[in-house]
Chain A
């Protein structure tokens, strides 16, 4: 289910407690947003292309809140980066880096599981969010209107695993079909 033309997909950085603590410990006053532009939108089963300037990619399986519709599974891929001072455009905005599942549920999911080559590498719970979903949407909506069809990615699990070319990555969100994609060399 690629988002409709004109929709926006917003990611939220530092919204899992352990990740925020590891990197700063200081609660951002407003949600730390980044945009997943349309060139990044990708689908279940499609290849994730490893850029020539990267060796590993972070596989931040997460939950996407589709405004007015429900919840989807997302694999929010990026080139790993430690600095959050400047927007990570080069690390995040590569073609096909935001895989959005096609199935939507209206039951709030509670858990994200990320596996690489069949091995479970990360479990994350929505109980560990810095800003829970309702608060997150309200805090974003204070300055930026979320329209039906826009998607908000609730956060990157703090121990999101890294993958290399050849790896198969599976993201499971409870209540939704898994999404699975392979990393291939560019």
Chain B
């Protein structure tokens, strides 16, 4: 089953794919499909991407956290501040935890997964600093992590470690990969994280991105998609002064 959270007719609703209200043509605002608990993200978790950034593949998962305000739903907008020279997308498979997990082994890891969705883990590289890198100004900005449209039940994804993923900017494919190329796979990540902290239902793990990053500009339409999970669209907007000349 594919589930969405949407604002529709003045309230927030949980809907499943095929709901007649989604098909009615009335306006729907897509929200992140999960009310987030702790949001984990992985850096350099695809060998090709690590190489692209001239980093050797890490020995231990490179985990960072993101605050709740960074999420936005399908068809959302993400701001590129004026003066920025390099802002890139990152297409990622997101794993949503479904129950409390503490010291879970790889063999049991999928038992605590609720399902999967798609995330776009934008980064503004101009703001990178060598303190707790990638720092929050790069990665945890307001509305800079689109996620959705659907939470797809685990039962509907027989092999999450073999899914093709890609990014399209203005309709052109700019990034392609396959989740089988992750350095630390989903069971390893769950074993690693739950080995030192308790995971809870609603926690989200963004599992990293393959190579193929490119700068995105104001007005670009960016689609990140994972086969069998979903296609997530986002538009880059500028600061208000960039629109001052319009109209």
Contact = CB atoms under 8 A, between A and B. Distances in A.
Interface of A: 6, 8, 10, 13-14, 24, 28-30, 32-35, 37-40, 51, 53, 84-90, 93-95, 143-145, 147
Main secondary structure of the interface of B (DSSP, over half): loop
B142 A39 contact: no
Interface string B156-200: 000000000000000000000000000000000000000011111
Contacts of B2: none
Interface string B74-98: 0000000000000000000000000
Interface centre among A6, A13, A90, A94 (most CB of B within 10 A): A90
B135 A86 contact: no
B238 interface: no
B240 to A, nearest CB: 15
B141 A13 contact: no
A88 B50 CA distance: 20
A65 to B, nearest CB: 15
Given A38-B200, A87-B64, A33 B69 contact: no
B137 interface: yes
A51 B132 contact: no
Main secondary structure of the interface of A (DSSP, over half): loop
A29 B128 CA distance: 10
B138 to A, nearest CB: 9
Given A14-B131, A35-B65, A84-B131, A143 B196 contact: no
A10 B67 contact: yes
B136 A37 contact: no
B38 interface: yes
Interface of B: 35, 37-38, 62-70, 127, 129-133, 135-137, 140-142, 196-200
Given A13-B132, A28-B131, A35 B67 contact: yes
Contacts of B136: 10, 30, 33, 143-144
B65 A87 contact: yes
A147 B69 contact: yes
B55 to A, nearest CB: 11
B38 A6 contact: no
B37 A38 contact: yes
A30 B135 contact: yes
A33 B141 CA distance: 12
Nearest to A89: B63
A145 B196 contact: no
